[in-house]
Amino acid sequence: MMCSAILLLTSSSVALSHNLVNRPALSFLQEVAGSSSASVFSLEAADDTTAFSGENIGAKYGIPSLPTSEAALEKLLDEPLSASDAEPQTVAADALVTRSALSQKSSPWRPSIAMRGSPAGPPERTAPAMQRRDQATLETSNVQFAQELQKIAKIQSNKATLETSNVQFAQERPLNLRAGYIPQEAQPVVAKTPSLHSYLRSASKRRQGAAARKRVAGAAAGTGKHTRSKSKGVGLTRPGVGSGKADIINFGAFAKAFYGASLKNNNFVIDSIVALKWTDPRVISSVPAGLEKYTMSGKQAMSTIWMPEIVVTNRDIRKKEVISTSVTIHTTGEVFKVERAVLVINNIYDLEQYPFDEQFFRVKFASSKYMLDSVALAPFPEQAQSGVDEKLFEAFPYKLLDWKVYSFEEVDGALKKSRGVFEMKVEREMEKYGENHLMPASLLIIISWGVFWFPFDKPFITPRLALSILVLLSFTNIMVKSGDEIPDGAPCNWNDVFNQNVQALMFCTIILNILSEIYMHQFKVEDMARAVNHEAKIVQPILSFVVIGIILTGGKYKWISLFWAGLVCKTLIVIAMLSYVGHRHNSAVAAKDAKAAKEKQEQEAERMRIEAERIKMEERQQLRGGPGVSGAEVAGGERLAEAAADAAGDGGDAG
């Protein structure tokens, strides 16, 4: 039983893999095997004369006579397909193998059907139920067999298509290699037909592109003035090579939009349009016939004509976004390139005069390939290609003063370049700085003066001191915020001088407040303390206006330098405060001494008065009673003496 099954499976796999299927023989075997899907068939040797005759089945499947041995069966399976067997065959409904047909003729071997779970041996051939069941099983197997035949035919058809495609691939590959295109997978496609078709379409498009590039290169090479290398455009030589002179590249720049400047990061963002112009007679042949000029993209120009490769040299790393590029060649030999790009430009700012500064926004150009002796930049003779948009700085605190385009030669060791510069000179406007910094600082200074208007009593000692200190801390936060706008290593500027002097003025307010409190509660010179408090209401505003006026007018109108302005303001504050505090301190000490002397005089006068009263009492007693003196009078005299002694002691402590 197992031998027959292995024989059938082996013959089927060999037929499918080598395309040598003998379809009639395979169909016959599967029809016999498919007589029962729930049974296992086997080929058993038989000695009786009840062997089946395969004439009807052989005639149906094109087999003249059925094999009578295993050797004959193997020979039949090894025969190749004929042309008539290439098409799939279907099994008709009447192509059924019955037990009566299988038992017509004798044969050395016969198929026998053994049901699973039933004893070995031939089934009962006379039972009607068994016949009906076998009939239904055979019909179902024949339908499944027809489906399998269709699948086998489809596999053979796909295999033939793949073989044809591989032949085409082998023919196309030399052409692809000659065109300069090497596919990523240079192996025959044996898996899926759609991927092969995609490859063929891609190869066709690449061949067309290569042919177009060859035509352009041939037109350029026909002039005999330059040659191309295999890489894109890099083998083209400049027009003036061999002449000993540098090729002149005219340039211009137009500032279309400005997106802000960062003083802290030393850069600004600009939308610029750069125009370049040079002469190359070799491009005349590249202009199509009948046209005076021809426009192409930047990539196409790089692979077709010579380019000076002018770039922005002070742009930030990977901070260039090209919006559009066009290159126009004329029949006169002129080449005109226009490129629009958004750039982040690195620019070092002069911050010594900040916020009353004038800045220069510079965009620098140079060739990324050629040195000074090969390419020289020069501005356009006319200014039509350069300029600045009228509303460029409308949304920013800058005012345009002037712009210009110029070139210069720069030598840095072995690097020798001709550089072009597009420069914009701007002046900072004070509106934003005044609103963000000057106004809050002025308000805090005015608030600090309010400590001198508080009641001059003990309950207000802490509020007066707290207000003056809190105002100073608040301004310190504003000062730090204003310093964040510029780099940490920026030089001393007008903003720093202003902040330092405002802090000094607030510190002076704290000093005067403390001084008045000391005079009031420590020195006990109330008149002097109140005088200092009232004078500070006038001294501090006047001193603040003078100092801030010097700084703001000096920075705006430049009538005094930054150094001298800072020095004068600080000196003025120090001298004013030292002179005032020194004067008031001397006055306070003098007032204290005068008060002490006055109190001593008053005590001495009181003592003398008491002494005089005691003497008078003694004289009165003598006049009245002679030597006898009453006890009450003596006690009164003793009390007067003790009071005079106490008064004298208090006067000594006060002195």
Contact by Cβ (8 Å): 380, 386: yes
Residue 454 pLDDT greater than 70, yes or no = yes
Q: At what angle do helices 494-521 and 562-625 cross, to 10 degrees?
A: 0
Q: Report how far residue 551's alpha carbon sits from residue 570's, in angstroms, rounded to the nearest whole number.
A: 11
Which of 603, 622, 646 is at the close of a domain?
Answer: 603
Name the strand (E) or helix (H) holding 111.
strand 109-115
Report residue 360's pLDDT band, with 50, 70 and 90 as the boundaries. very high
Mean pLDDT of 141-153: 78
Report residue 457's pLDDT band, with 50, 70 and 90 as the boundaries. confident
Q: Report how far residue 635's alpha carbon sits from residue 615's, in angstroms, rounded to the nearest whole number.
A: 14
Q: How would DSSP label each residue in 436-463?
A: IIIHHHHHHHHHHGGGGGS--SGGGHHH
Q: Report how far residue 580's alpha carbon sits from residue 635's, in angstroms, rounded to the nearest whole number.
A: 57
Q: How would DSSP label each residue in 327-340?
A: EEEETTSEEEEEEE
Instruction: Give SS3 for 583.
Output: helix
pLDDT of residue 560: 94
How many other CB atoms are found less than 10 A from the CB of residue 481? 12
State the CATH number of the domain containing residue 365: 2.70.170.10
Q: Parallel, antiparallel, or unpaired for β 415-428 and 398-412?
A: antiparallel
* Whether residue 460 is found in the same domain as residue 421: no
Of the chain, the percentage scoring pLDDT greater than 90 comes to 46
* Whether residue 280 is found in the same domain as residue 374: yes
Mean pLDDT of 636-640: 56
95: left (phi over 0), alpha (psi -120 to 50) or beta: beta
C-alpha 251, offset from chain centre: 32
* Cα–Cα nearest to 530, from 454, 445, 471: 454
Considering its fold, how many domains does the chain have in total? 3
Residue 143 pLDDT greater than 50, yes or no = yes
* Whether residue 464 is found in the same domain as residue 419: no
Q: Report how far residue 18's alpha carbon sits from residue 5's, in angstroms, rounded to the nearest whole number.
A: 20
* Whether residue 387 is found in the same domain as residue 277: yes
Handedness of CA 494, 496, 502, 507 (dihedral sign): negative
Structural domain includes residue 633: no
Tell the burial category of 371 from Cβ atoms under 10 Å away from its Cβ (0-12, 13-18, 19+): middle
pLDDT of residue 537: 94
Q: Residue 460 carries which DSSP code?
A: G
Which of 160, 194, 211 is at the close of a domain?
Answer: 160
Structural domain includes residue 598: yes
* Whether residue 398 is found in the same domain as residue 277: yes
* Whether residue 417 is found in the same domain as residue 272: yes
Report residue 234's pLDDT band, with 50, 70 and 90 as the boundaries. very low
Q: pLDDT averaged over the chain? A: 76
Contact by Cβ (8 Å): 275, 251: yes
pLDDT of residue 211: 65
* Whether residue 355 is found in the same domain as residue 325: yes
233: left (phi over 0), alpha (psi -120 to 50) or beta: left
Handedness of CA 564, 567, 570, 575 (dihedral sign): negative
What residue type is assigned to position 333 of the chain? G
Q: Residue 403 carries which DSSP code?
A: E
Structural domain includes residue 644: no
Structural domain includes residue 230: no
Query: What are the backbone angles phi and psi of residue 330, rounded to the nearest 5°?
Result: -115, 160
Contact by Cβ (8 Å): 179, 206: yes
The better pLDDT of the pair 236, 93 is held by: 236
Structural domain includes residue 98: yes
pLDDT of residue 187: 47
Contact by Cβ (8 Å): 227, 241: no
Structural domain includes residue 314: yes
pTM, whole model, 2 decimals? 0.58
Residue 601 pLDDT greater than 90, yes or no = no
Kindly report, residue by residue over 537-557, the tens digit of the pLDDT. Answer: 999 999 999 999 999 999 999
pLDDT of residue 193: 44
* Whether residue 422 is found in the same domain as residue 506: no
Q: Report how far residue 195's alpha carbon sits from residue 191's, in angstroms, rounded to the nearest whole number.
A: 8
Roughly how many angstroms between the first and final C-alpha of the chain, as a whole number?
Answer: 142
> What does the CA dihedral 480, 486, 487, 492 come to, rounded to 10 degrees?
-80
Q: Across-strand partners of 250?
A: 277, 378
Contact by Cβ (8 Å): 515, 581: yes
Instruction: Give SS3 for 269.
Output: strand
* Whether residue 358 is found in the same domain as residue 438: no
Q: Report how far residue 544's alpha carbon sits from residue 538's, in angstroms, rounded to the nearest whole number.
A: 10
**Location of structure tokens 């600090």:** 448
Structural domain includes residue 302: yes
- Mean pLDDT is lowest, of 151-160, 362-371, 434-443, for 151-160
Report residue 121's pLDDT band, with 50, 70 and 90 as the boundaries. very low
Return the CA Rg of the chain: 58
Contact by Cβ (8 Å): 349, 263: yes
Kindly report, residue by residue over 553-585, the tens digit of the pLDDT. Answer: 999 999 999 999 999 999 999 999 999 998 888
**What domain range includes position 381?**
247-427
Structural domain includes residue 186: no
* Cα–Cα nearest to 116, from 2, 42, 39: 39
Mean pLDDT of 601-613: 87
Instruction: Give SS3 for 410.
Output: strand
* Whether residue 419 is found in the same domain as residue 450: no
* Cα–Cα nearest to 554, from 501, 505, 593: 501
Q: Residue 87 carries which DSSP code?
A: S
Q: Report how far residue 607's alpha carbon sits from residue 640's, in angstroms, rounded to the nearest whole number.
A: 9
Contact by Cβ (8 Å): 406, 420: yes
pLDDT of residue 357: 94
Which of 410, 427, 444 is at the close of a domain?
Answer: 427
The better pLDDT of the pair 144, 363 is held by: 363
State the CATH number of the domain containing residue 444: 1.20.58.390
Token pair listed for 335: 């080449």
Contact by Cβ (8 Å): 384, 215: no
- Mean pLDDT is lowest, of 49-63, 480-494, 633-647, for 49-63
* Whether residue 403 is found in the same domain as residue 295: yes
* Whether residue 156 is found in the same domain as residue 134: yes
